[in-house]
A and B are shown apart, each in its own frame.
Chain A
Amino acid sequence: MPSEEDQLRHDASSLYQFVDSIASFCGERSRAVTYLHATERFFFYVRDLGEKTKAYLVSFPTARSKYLDVQTYRRKLSILRAAWKVLHQFVKPATEADTLNLPSPLIDGLIRRFREIPTYSKVDFVIFHTDEFNYLQVRLSKLKRSIDRIADIIPGASPFYAELGLIGIPYSQCSSLFMNCLIPHEMGHYVYADQEIHAKLLPKIESEIKRTTTFKAVRRSYLIKTIAAWAEELFCDLFAVLLVGPCYTLAYVELFDLVHALDENGKLAAEEDLDSLTFYPAHPAHIVRIKHQVQLLDELKWWPKTQTMNSHYVDVMKASLTMPENSFKFRLLSNMPSLPGAKPVKSFQVIIPEIRKLLQPIRTQIDVGVGEWSRLSKVIEEYLANGIVPSTLYFGKNKKSLKMETPGIVPLLNASYKFYLDSMGSLLKRIDVSKDGGPASVKARSKWASKVEEWTMKAIEDNTLLASQQGNGNASSFKKRN
Chain B
Amino acid sequence: MPVLSRREIEQRLAKRIGDDDSLVITPFLQKNDSFDVDSVDLRLGTHFLMPQLPPEPFLDPTVEKVIKTPYLRIHVPLGRYLVLPAHQTVLGATLEFIKLPFDIAGEILTKSSVARTFMVIETAPWIHPEYRGCLTLEIANVSNTPILLYPGLPIAQLVLLSTSSSKPRKTLSGTYLGPVYPEAPNLKRPRQVLSAMGIDKYRHPSGDWRRTADDSKFD
- Is B one of A's binding partners? yes
A-to-B contact residues, CB < 8 Å: 33-34, 98-100, 104, 379, 382-383, 386-389, 391-396, 402, 404, 429-432, 451, 454-455, 457-458, 462, 465-466, 469
Identify the stretch in B19-27, B116-124, B158-166, B193-201 within 8 Å (CB) of chain A at 4 or more residues: B19-27
Chain B residues with Cβ under 8 A from A458's Cβ?
A: 97, 134, 180
Chain A residues with Cβ under 8 A from B22's Cβ?
A: 394
Question: A392-B26, A395-B17 provided; 15 other pairs, C-beta below 8 A?
Answer: A34-B75, A382-B18, A386-B17, A386-B18, A387-B99, A389-B26, A392-B27, A394-B14, A394-B15, A394-B22, A431-B177, A451-B178, A454-B178, A462-B27, A466-B27
A99-B77, A386-B99 known; A391 vs B26 contact (CB < 8 Å)? yes
Give which listed residue, B16, B76, B97, B177, contacts A394 with CB less than 8 A: B16
Chain A residues with Cβ under 8 A from B80's Cβ?
A: 34
Cβ A465 vs Cβ B29 within 8 A? yes
Report whether over half of chain B's contact residues are helix, strand or loop; otherwise say mixed: loop
B32 within 8 A of partner (CB):
no
Chain A residues with Cβ under 8 A from B172's Cβ?
A: 387, 430-432
Complex Cα distance, B180 from A469, in Å, reads: 21
A383-B17, A431-B173, A465-B29 known; A389 vs B97 contact (CB < 8 Å)? yes
Give which listed residue, B17, B28, B178, contacts A455 with CB less than 8 A: B178
Cβ B29 vs Cβ A388 within 8 A? no
Which of B17, B22, B134 has its CB near the most chain A CB atoms (within 10 A)?
Answer: B17
Q: Report 11 cross-chain contacts, Cβ distance below 8 Å, ordered by A residue.
A: A34-B75, A34-B76, A383-B17, A388-B24, A389-B24, A394-B15, A431-B173, A454-B178, A455-B180, A457-B180, A466-B27
Measured CB to CB, the closest approach of chain A to B92, in angstroms, equals: 15
A387-B172, A431-B173 known; A469 vs B29 contact (CB < 8 Å)? yes
Measured CB to CB, the closest approach of chain B to A451, in angstroms, equals: 5
Measured CB to CB, the closest approach of chain A to B84, in angstroms, equals: 17
Chain B interface residue bracket vs A? 20 to 34
Measured CB to CB, the closest approach of chain B to A417, in angstroms, equals: 18
Chain A residues with Cβ under 8 A from B18's Cβ?
A: 382, 386
Complex Cα distance, B181 from A393, in Å, reads: 21
- Closest partner residue, chain B, to A33 (CB atom): B75
B189 within 8 A of partner (CB):
no
Measured CB to CB, the closest approach of chain B to A441, in angstroms, equals: 15
- Closest partner residue, chain B, to A98 (CB atom): B75
Complex Cα distance, B180 from A457, in Å, reads: 10
Complex Cα distance, B132 from A466, in Å, reads: 20
Chain B residues with Cβ under 8 A from A34's Cβ?
A: 75-77, 80
Chain A residues with Cβ under 8 A from B30's Cβ?
A: 469
Chain A residues with Cβ under 8 A from B181's Cβ?
A: 454
Measured CB to CB, the closest approach of chain A to B48, in angstroms, equals: 11
Measured CB to CB, the closest approach of chain B to A15, in angstroms, equals: 35
- Closest partner residue, chain B, to A404 (CB atom): B14
Complex Cα distance, B18 from A393, in Å, reads: 11
Complex Cα distance, B15 from A200, in Å, reads: 54
